[in-house]
Copies of this chain bind each other. A is one copy, B any other.
Amino acid sequence: MDDVLALVRARGGRATVSRRVILEELFEAEDHLSAEALAEAVQAHAPDVHLSTVYRNLEDLQRLGIVVHTHLGHGPATYQLASLAHAHFICEGCGAAIEAPDELFRGLARMAKNRLGFSIDPRHFAILGRCADCV
């Protein structure tokens, strides 16, 4: 948290109240948050932080590599600390989001690299499918 603000400052940015509260909520959140949900959480502590400020901060924090966003489906993007990023399987039947351990992608990553020269990062878009309960 302090490291993050130090990095922000090192890049010419400022440690504003909004930025601080947004980061606090991101550190406290245990699951992914949409920008809207994050804004609500932030507004509980600092009522006039505007949704557009949340978006702008998320963008800056992504540029710094502190935050990433993920698309879990057709709804809004979800944001989280980059250190917690992981891939997802989303059930088309019930919408359940299952966290996919990175090692599941080892083989795919190797084949994509060898056969297509492509290095995958499977964490940005979820992979759809059907969970055990929705077959």
Chain A residues in the interface with B (C-beta under 8 A): 71, 89, 91-92, 98, 100, 104-105, 107-108, 111-112, 115-122, 124-132, 135
Contacts and interface: CB of A to CB of B under 8 A. Distances in A.
Given A71-B71, A108-B108, A98 B125 contact: no
A120 B128 contact: yes
A10 to B, nearest CB: 25
Copies of this chain, whole number: 2
Contact of A116 (B89, B92, B125, B126): B89
A107 B112 CA distance: 12
Contact of A115 (B104, B107, B116, B130): B104
Given A100-B112, A126-B125, A127-B125, A118 B105 contact: no
